[in-house]
Amino acid sequence: MTTKRSGLTRLAVPAAMGLLAFIALGAQQLPKAPFPILTTSAGQSTDVETLNIVMEEAGLGFDYCDVPTPGLLAAGVGLAGKESAATGFHVEVHSDLAKYPKGTAYKTVIFALGASMKGMGASGLTLEGEEARLKQVLEYCQKNKIFTIAVHLGGEARRGAAGSDNERMIDAVAPFVNYIIVTKDSNKDGRFTKIAAAKTIPFTEIEFALSLVDTLKQVFQ
């Protein structure tokens, strides 16, 4: 287990903004997702660090692996005791082991969307390799009835023209999950709204990354 992160100062968002909750669903009931949780990256960007900080601030236990395989998912909580490497493979275990002992099957996987060629390179992945890995993970989740969530917190910086690295990560994951959460700045063109509508996926648009704390608290009640 790694040392706990320094907190929301790294998000650089005032705490009061947490009061600005989801927009798109309004008064509608948010979907409910079960424990235990695995967080991971779709594209190997640092946006997954923001997701993990949010998880900690929400008080939600979770495990993290940047490049999980179906085999690691099958190993369940604790990720088979794997340890982080210097580069290219990172593991953290923050699940409540009293409630969910090692080996307990994961019930939810959260993907942080955002491409980084540097991050993929460090993991020995090409863009095509990352797409293929994500396809395998999503298929495993669907087969094993694991609830999947895609979050996009990087704003316009993690978007691009059709066919860009970031857009390919969105294409690889967003249409195939059970729930989508994005910041308003990530959805200026309405792309996520359109994906959610076309695939009938529950969708929440939040004002800022910190707003995700309140949303996830409600999703994981």
pLDDT value, residue 21: 38
Whichever domain contains 174, its CATH number is 3.40.50
Residue 105 in contact with residue 38, Cβ under 8 Å?
no
- Residue 210 within a domain: yes
Distance (Å, rounded) from C-alpha 150 to C-alpha 194? Answer: 15
**How far, in Å, CA of 219 to CA of 43, rounded?**
24
pLDDT at 88: 84
**First-last CA distance in the chain:** 24
Q: What pLDDT score does 117 carry?
A: 82
Strand order across the 147-152 sheet: 91-93, 63-65, 37-42, 108-113, 147-152, 179-183, 203-206
Does residue 143 lie in a domain region? Answer: yes
Rounded Cα distance between 85 and 96, Å, is 24
Whether residue 28 is contained in a domain is answered as no
Q: Tell me the residue range of the domain where 100 lies.
A: 39-219
What gap in Å lies between CA 212 and CA 219, rounded to an integer? 10
Domain count, the chain: 1
Q: How many residues are recorded in the chain? A: 221
pLDDT along the chain (221 residues), means of 10: 48 40 52 98 90 97 96 97 90 98 98 87 86 96 98 88 90 98 96 97 95 96 84
- Tokens standing for 125? 């992945």
Instruction: Specify the pLDDT at position 26.
Output: 43
pLDDT of 28 reads 53
pLDDT at position 206: 96
> Is 135 a domain residue?
yes
Instruction: Give the per-residue pLDDT at 5.
Output: 56
Over the range 145-164, which residues count as b (16 or more CB within 10 Å of their CB) and which as e? ebbbbbbbbbbeebbeeeee
Torsion angles phi and psi, residue 38, rounded to 5: -120, 130
